Amino acid sequence: YHEDGEIDDVEPGTQAYQRGVRKGWTVESINTRPITAEVPMRSVLSEVLQSKEPIEVMFQVPVDKAASIQVNFPGDGNTGIHLQGNEVAKVEINSTAERRAVKRGWVVE
């Protein structure tokens, strides 16, 4: 990663890779602590890792408006997706949506 939060590589097999983080994304904040020129990612990440608290990372994700992805779910109605309007606001951990790599910010058409 770069100090400005841009992800330049994601190692296969890591938690980040398994959770769908990809090259080209930018970290906006870690545990609500914003990444800025004055407070680079390395210092925020170091502080959070030392605290041993759970880590929540907010990303800015490049969006290709021309891309469409079809995701199929079983008929039990339990997808693991929380919508805000037609946008995915949350994907539950260990849910069908997470296993199918659905991402926060996707728009349901």
Which secondary structure element, helix H or strand E, spans residue 99, and what is its range?
A: helix 96-99
Mean pLDDT over residues 92-100, rounded?
A: 85
Dihedral sign (CA 59, 65, 66, 68): positive
Those residues with Cβ within 8 angstroms of residue 55's Cβ, 6 or more apart along the chain or in another chain: 30, 31, 48, 49
**How far apart (Å, rounded) are the C-alpha atoms in residues 97 and 80?**
5
pLDDT at 13: 84
Amino acid at 96: T
pLDDT digits (tens, 9 = 90+) for 34-78: 888 888 888 888 888 888 888 888 888 776 655 666 777 877 778
pLDDT digits (tens, 9 = 90+) for 1-46: 666 788 888 888 888 888 888 888 888 888 888 888 888 888 888 8
pLDDT at 45: 85
Quick count: other Cβ atoms within 10 Å of Cβ 106?
19
